[in-house]
Amino acid sequence: MVYYCGNPIGTIAANDPSDSNTLNYDQVFIRDFVPSGIAFLLKGEYEIVKNFILHTLQLQSWEKTMDCHSPGQGLMPASFKVRTVPLDGDDSATEEVLDPDFGEAAIGRVAPVDSGLWWIILLRAYGKCTGDLSVQERIDVQTGIKMILKLCLADGFDMFPTLLVTDGSCMIDRRMGIHGHPLEIQALFYSALLCAREMLVPEDASDDLMRALNNRLVALSIHIREYYWIDMKKLNEIYRYKTEEYSFDAVNKFNIYPDQIPPWLVEWMPRKGGYLIGNLQPAHMDFRFFSLGNLWSIICSLATADQSHAILDLIEAKWSDLVAGMPLKICYPALEGQEWRIITGSDPKNTPWSYHNGGAWPTLLWQLTVACIKMNRPEIAENAIKVAEKHLSRDKWPEYYDTKGARFIGKQAHLFQTWSIAGYLVAKLLIENPSAANMLVNVEDAELLNAFSCALATPRGKRLRKRPKQSYLI
Ligand code: GLC
Nearest atom (ligand 1) to Cα of 356: 8
CA–centroid distance, 55 to ligand 1, in Å, is 20
Range of the domain at 5: 1-131
The response to whether residue 385 sits with its C-beta less than 6 Å from ligand 1 reads no
Strand partners, 69: 66
**Which pLDDT score is estimated for 446?**
78
If one residue of 173, 175, 357 were mutated to test the ligand 1 pocket, choosing by the most ligand atoms within 8 A of its CB, it would be: 173
The response to whether residue 31 sits with its C-beta less than 6 Å from ligand 1 reads yes
In a domain, 18, yes or no: yes
Measuring from atom 9 of ligand 1, which residue has the nearest CA?
171
CA–centroid distance, 309 to ligand 1, in Å, is 29
Strand partners, 291: none
If one residue of 29, 184, 401 were mutated to test the ligand 1 pocket, choosing by the most ligand atoms within 8 A of its CB, it would be: 29
The response to whether residue 101 sits with its C-beta less than 6 Å from ligand 1 reads no
| Contact partners, residue 235, CB within 8 Å, separation at least 6 | 261, 265, 266, 269
If one residue of 24, 27, 32 were mutated to test the ligand 1 pocket, choosing by the most ligand atoms within 8 A of its CB, it would be: 32
CA–centroid distance, 32 to ligand 1, in Å, is 7
C-alpha 66/C-alpha 366 separation (Å) is 34
Alpha carbons within 13 angstroms on the beta-carbon side of residue 255 total: 7
In a domain, 114, yes or no: yes
The response to whether residue 13 sits with its C-beta less than 6 Å from ligand 1 reads yes
The response to whether residue 347 sits with its C-beta less than 6 Å from ligand 1 reads no
Q: Name which of 124, 305, 133, 251 is nearest 197 in CA terms.
A: 124
Which amino acid is it at 154? A
The SS3 call for residue 252 is: coil
In a domain, 429, yes or no: no
The response to whether residue 29 sits with its C-beta less than 6 Å from ligand 1 reads yes
In a domain, 49, yes or no: yes
Measuring from atom 2 of ligand 1, which residue has the nearest CA?
171
Nearest atom (ligand 1) to Cα of 174: 8
C-alpha 269/C-alpha 247 separation (Å) is 31
Q: Name which of 78, 85, 212 is nearest 151 in CA terms.
A: 212
Measuring from atom 6 of ligand 1, which residue has the nearest CA?
13
The SS3 call for residue 174 is: coil
Rounding to the nearest 10 degrees, give the CA dihedral for residues 416, 417, 420, 421.
50
Phi-psi region of 158 (alpha: psi -120 to 50; beta: other; left: phi over 0): beta
Q: Count the domains in the chain.
A: 1
CA–centroid distance, 380 to ligand 1, in Å, is 26
β-strand 284-286 against 279-281: which pairing, if any?
antiparallel
In a domain, 388, yes or no: no
Measuring from atom 7 of ligand 1, which residue has the nearest CA?
173
CA–centroid distance, 76 to ligand 1, in Å, is 15
CA–centroid distance, 171 to ligand 1, in Å, is 6
Transcribe 12-74 into DSSP letters: -SB--TT----TTTTSEEHHHHHHHHHHHHHTT-HHHHHHHHHHHHHHHTS---BTTB---TT
The SS3 call for residue 153 is: helix
**Which pLDDT score is estimated for 458?**
58
Burial class (CB in 10 A: 0-12, 13-18, 19+), 69: exposed
C-alpha 11/C-alpha 14 separation (Å) is 9
Alpha carbons within 13 angstroms on the beta-carbon side of residue 435 total: 0
Q: Name which of 60, 34, 201, 198 is nearest 122 in CA terms.
A: 34
Within 326-377, where are the H helices?
337-344, 365-374
The response to whether residue 181 sits with its C-beta less than 6 Å from ligand 1 reads no
The response to whether residue 374 sits with its C-beta less than 6 Å from ligand 1 reads no
In a domain, 44, yes or no: yes
In a domain, 174, yes or no: no
**Which pLDDT score is estimated for 274?**
98
C-alpha 362/C-alpha 397 separation (Å) is 8
pLDDT in tens, the chain (474 residues): 999 999 999 999 999 888 877 778 889 999 999 999 999 999 999 999 999 999 999 988 778 777 778 888 889 999 999 999 988 878 889 999 999 988 878 888 888 999 999 999 999 999 999 999 999 999 999 999 999 999 999 998 888 999 999 999 999 999 999 999 999 999 999 999 999 999 999 987 788 999 999 999 999 999 999 999 999 999 999 999 999 998 888 999 999 999 999 999 999 999 999 999 999 999 999 999 999 999 999 999 999 999 999 999 999 999 999 999 999 999 999 999 999 999 999 999 999 999 999 999 999 999 999 999 999 999 999 999 999 999 999 999 999 999 999 999 999 999 999 999 999 999 999 999 999 999 999 998 777 777 767 766 655 545 544 555 555 544
Q: Name which of 152, 168, 220 is nearest 190 in CA terms.
A: 220
Per the omega criterion (within 30 degrees of 0), is the bond before 333 cis?
Answer: yes
Residue 380's Cα: distance from chain center in Å? 21
The SS3 call for residue 131 is: coil
CB 297 within 8 A of CB 187: yes
In a domain, 24, yes or no: yes
**Which pLDDT score is estimated for 29?**
97
The response to whether residue 173 sits with its C-beta less than 6 Å from ligand 1 reads yes
